[in-house]
């Protein structure tokens, strides 16, 4: 019982350190990357390499990413996809904007868009990072249980006459 309580306390401390110290630093770093991408996008527009419409799409993508960094969880992405699928009017607007962005010939524009999406992906992964300290032990236990089941099945299929050799048991007990 003591081991369980100590383990829970240790998990709580690790979770606290991750959520309070490490994760805010990661988010700040990602936010700065998004600011840099937004500046690059603005420079493209000022040079005339992309149209104003395409610029607004990319600006919206980056601003939404900055705004949603703290709430970037798989559930948020799933809800957004479900809402887009449910609302036909929104789906048409999203498809129109996506098509306009895809048809932009500027390689730099495409690169900035990919990098912004990658930064948001990293935010999602970072935000669920604390869950890993709870999930990994469960995965480890399930894996160990499966390995034990396989080992038991294999060891119990030993022919009766050879049980003594395999398990080093006295022949009188076999």
pLDDT band with cut points at 50, 70 and 90 for residue 129: confident
**pLDDT class for 172, splitting at 50, 70, 90?**
low
More confident residue, 150 or 156: 150
Q: What would the two tokens of residue 76 be?
A: 């948020």
131 falls in which pLDDT band (50, 70, 90)? confident
Q: What percent of the chain has pLDDT over 90?
A: 48
What is the tens place of the pLDDT at every residue in 95-117?
999 998 888 888 999 999 999 99
Cα–Cα distance, 115 to 64 (Å, whole number): 14
User: 60: closest CA among 102, 94, 92?
Assistant: 94
Higher-confidence position of 45 and 150: 45
Residue ranges of the alpha helices (H) in the chain? Answer: 2-17, 23-47, 52-68, 74-86, 88-102, 107-127, 129-156, 163-167
Alpha-carbon span 40 to 49, nearest angstrom: 12
Query: Residues 33-71: pLDDT tens digits?
Result: 999 999 999 999 999 898 889 999 999 999 999 999 988
Given this model, what pLDDT does residue 146 score?
78
Report the interhelical angle of 23-47 vs 107-127 (nearest 10°): 170
Mean pLDDT, residues 134-154 taken together: 80
Torsion of CA 108, 70, 90, 84, to 10 degrees: 100
Cα-based angle 71, 81, 38 (whole degrees, multiple of 5): 55
pTM summary value: 0.72
| Domain ranges, ordered by start, for the chain | 2-127, 130-174
- On whether the CB atoms of residues 81 and 136 are closer than 8 A, the answer is no
């Amino acid at each position: 019982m003591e081991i369980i309580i100590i383990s829970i306390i240790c998990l709580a401390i690790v979770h606290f350190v991750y959520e309070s110290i490490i994760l805010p630093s990661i988010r700040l770093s990602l936010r700065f990357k998004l600011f840099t991408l937004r500046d690059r996008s603005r420079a493209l527009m000022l040079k005339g390499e992309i149209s104003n419409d395409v610029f607004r799409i990319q600006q919206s993508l980056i601003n939404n990413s900055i705004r949603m960094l703290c709430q970037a969880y798989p559930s948020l992405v799933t809800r957004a996809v479900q809402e887009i699928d449910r609302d036909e009017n929104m789906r048409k607007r999203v498809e129109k904007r996506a098509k306009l962005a895809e048809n932009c010939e500027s390689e730099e524009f495409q690169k900035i868009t990919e990098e912004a999406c990658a930064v948001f992906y990293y935010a999602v992964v970072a935000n669920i990072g604390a869950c890993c300290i709870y999930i990994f032990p469960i995965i480890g236990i399930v894996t160990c249980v499966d390995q034990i089941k396989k080992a038991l099945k294999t060891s119990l299929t030993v022919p009766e006459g050879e049980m003594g050799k395999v398990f080093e048991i006295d022949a009188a007990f076999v």
